[in-house]
Amino acid sequence: MSYLCPLDYRYGREGMKKIFYEESRLQYQMDAEASLARAHASLGTIPKKDADEITRISSLKFVTAERVREIEKDTRHDLMAMVRAMTEQCNGDAGKYVHLGATSNDIVDTATALQIKAALKMISDDIDVFLSTLAKLAKKERDTLEIGRTHAQFAIPITFGFKIAGYIAEMLRHRERLEQIMPRACAGKMSGAVGTGAALGKNFFDIQKKVMDDLGLTYEPAATQVVGRDRYTELICFLATVATSLERYATEVRNLQRSELSEAAEAFDAAKQVGSSTMAQKKNPITSENVCGLARVVRGFLVPTFESQVLWHERDLSNSSAERFILPHVFTLVDEMLFKMNDVFANLSVNRERMIRNIESAKGLIMAEPVMMKMTEKGIGRQDAHEIVREASMVAVANNEQLLDVLLRCSKLKGVMTGKEIRDVMDPAGYVGGAPKIVDDMVKAVEKALNRKV
């Protein structure tokens, strides 16, 4: 069998892809039809036995994707093909009540909301697993000294656990965003051709509420023929933001794995794994690079998502074809990325010795700030202290010597700071500020969110 899309043979986990398979979509649509029939029956507009029959045949056991496709060749309307396939499976008079009072997108949008609900649940679980992994790593590396870098240059000391704590804070915000977006993204409708519910008559409001309560969805309170596509725009923007965060973490792994840094690296199976077809020594950050590439694909779906929000009058069909691509691809890729980044950090190799060597290679320059702050404690003005340390740093760089040695012979510090005071303040381990507590706080935040220890 030949395939076209990489999701068919290379990317994506089966659980997420299954939500968007043709058969699953068909089942979700039949679930909406069955719920509509039950709502009618509860209000006495159709016989209960007929609603029960519609519910019974609303299954892939009776209505197959193959049969729907066969009918669609004639109807050239996929939803109506499903309705006819359901109708022909019904016993007695039940078939005449299938799709009663509904328009196509009552069923399509409600089914899509069910897909989104299931997919967001998977993303939520992914985030929780990833948060647990990050919390364990942050706790383990709480006090592991590392150089903080700004503009890709040495800055001041941090701990590796502190770096991971920043990722935790970001992912906790994503977790909060997901909880907030769930009711807005998981909205269906059962309000007819232009949203007025006219075909459902006096029972319109009751039927719509009963259907959505039955399916565990919210509903569009003032629909057109479709639910507002601002909901999908918000959803895809959220998923793209998660993907971008993952790309940020993956980029950091790639940078730390550079030969000249070698502070952290993806796990590598030396017994079997091949890094390069020609450079046999290579150990490449392939998973992190993969995640970076997939994030760019996810963000590429933002433009058609925004454009699909703009529909003519009470709705046109320009959004439909685009959304068939957008939702399955974005959800499948973000799920894949979360899974892969969790694996990277769960098995990350942290080179603590190299981190110390890199700190030592700075020749004390990364401790310029604490020296300056100590000088201000001793009565030197902040600006004067800055200039003294700046001049000393430039001398150290020019002469390739330790900043400590330059400061020890600095005449402007005579009688201000002793040699011991200068040495003590230049200990990197003593200048990580609140990093350890920040790690502790972020680990506790994860434990509170997950309601368990990590």
Active site residue 40: no
Q: What is the 3-state secondary structure (H, E, C) of the chain?
A: CCCCCHHHHCCCCHHHHHHCCHHHHHHHHHHHHHHHHHHHHHCCCCCHHHHHHHHHHCCCCCCCHHHHHHHHHHHCCHHHHHHHHHHHHCCCCHHHHCCCCCCHHHHHHHHHHHHHHHHHHHHHHHHHHHHHHHHHHHHHCCCCEEEEEECCEEEEEEEHHHHHHHHHHHHHHHHHHHHHHHHHHCEECCCCCCCCCHHHHHHHHHHHHHHHHHHCCEECCCCCCCCCCHHHHHHHHHHHHHHHHHHHHHHHHHHHCCCCCCCEECCCCCCCCCCCCCCCCCCCCHHHHHHHHHHHHHHHCHHHHHHCCCCCCCCCCHHHHHHHHHHHHHHHHHHHHHHHHHHHHHCCEECHHHHHHHHHHCCCHHHHHHHHHHHHHCCCCHHHHHHHHHHHHHHHHHHCCCHHHHHHCCHHHCCCCCHHHHHHHCCHHHCCCCHHHHHHHHHHHHHHHHCCCC
Choice among 2, 151, 259, 313 that is catalytic:
151
Choice among 77, 276, 318, 361 that is catalytic:
276
Active site residue 329: no
| Residues noted as catalytic | 151, 276
